[in-house]
Amino acid sequence: MFSTLLSRYWLLIPILILVVVVVDLIEEAPEIFNVEETINMRETRSDYYMADFRSRKYDKQGQIEYTIRGETLAHYPDNDRSEITAPRVELNREGAQWQIQSDSGTFDTSPDLFTLHGDVIVKRSAADYDPITIRTSTLTVATESNEVSTDAVIEISAPAWRLQATGLKSAIDQGKLSLLSEVTGRYEVPGP
């Protein structure tokens, strides 16, 4: 009886052995079969999304700490980060208004930190001073500590002068800018 079964289904035996070996290999070394790790879809899904939004934060004294506008904002719960397209950040400090825009950016909390990327333009206007424009490719803006900084190449321009450098650190509430290296500049000299 057994021999008849064997003669009829002998071919199953090597197939069964092969299946066991393959299953074992998949568990041991999935990369051999280039098996994609299953991605936990929940982690990359945003929990809220805004379009053409404006958001404002007030400080403890009831003053506006910053205003953020943008085309879209998507918030991700796993790292509490928001991704923003066409962000526009507005800060008012010591009589000066800072308007910062870029192609895209991220926003993290505790502390609040904007990281802006792509054609970053900072426009600073103040009653007592000429307007200043800063251009760079990436910039971080810490709204609570009032620090604006980058490691990238920057250009600062005002009506009568222009400076270029690599790296910037600025305490915008104190009107101070530190240019970290490779500084070049040009000053127009008013006529006599």
Partner 1 sequence: RENDLAQPIEVQADKSEFDEVAGTQTLTGNVEITQGSMRITADHIAILLKNNALSTITGNGSPIRFEQENEAGELMSGQAERISYDALAGVLTLEGSATLSQPKQELVSERITFNARTQKVSAEGGPKSGRVSIQIQPPTSADE
Contact by Cβ (8 Å): 152, 136: yes
Contact by Cβ (8 Å): 149, 166: no
Amino acid of residue 4: T
Q: Which range in 53-61, 69-77, 140-148, 153-161 contacts partner 1 by CB under 8 A?
A: 153-161
Output the CA–CA distances (angstroms, integers) from residue 96 to 42, 57, 133, 134, 175, in the order listed.
43, 18, 13, 15, 9
| Interaction between residue 148 and partner 1 (CB under 8 A) | no
Shortest distance, position 116 Cβ to partner 1, whole Å: 21
Shortest distance, position 118 Cβ to partner 1, whole Å: 25
Cα distance between residue 156 and residue 147, in whole Å: 16
Q: Which range in 14-22, 99-107, 114-122, 183-191 contacts partner 1 by CB under 8 A?
A: 183-191
Q: Which of 48, 49, 53, 129 binds partner 1 (CB under 8 A)?
A: 129
Burial class from Cβ neighbours inside 10 Å (0-12, 13-18, 19+) for residue 41 reads exposed
Contact by Cβ (8 Å): 168, 134: yes
Shortest distance, position 156 Cβ to partner 1, whole Å: 8
| Interaction between residue 152 and partner 1 (CB under 8 A) | no
Interactions with partner 1, residue window 63-82 (CB under 8 A):
none
Interactions with partner 1, residue window 10-39 (CB under 8 A):
none
Shortest distance, position 97 Cβ to partner 1, whole Å: 14
In 10 A of CB 150, how many CB atoms? 22
Q: Which of 28, 63, 110, 191 binds partner 1 (CB under 8 A)?
A: 191
Backbone φ, ψ for residue 189 (5° rounding): -100, 125
Query: How many residues appear in the chain?
Result: 192
Rank residues 68 and 163 by Cβ distance to partner 1 and give the closer one: 163
| Interaction between residue 127 and partner 1 (CB under 8 A) | no
Size of the site for partner 1 (CB under 8 A): 29
Residue 111: cis peptide before it, omega within 30 degrees of 0: yes
Site residues for partner 1 per CB under 8 A? 126, 129-130, 156, 158-161, 163, 165, 174-192
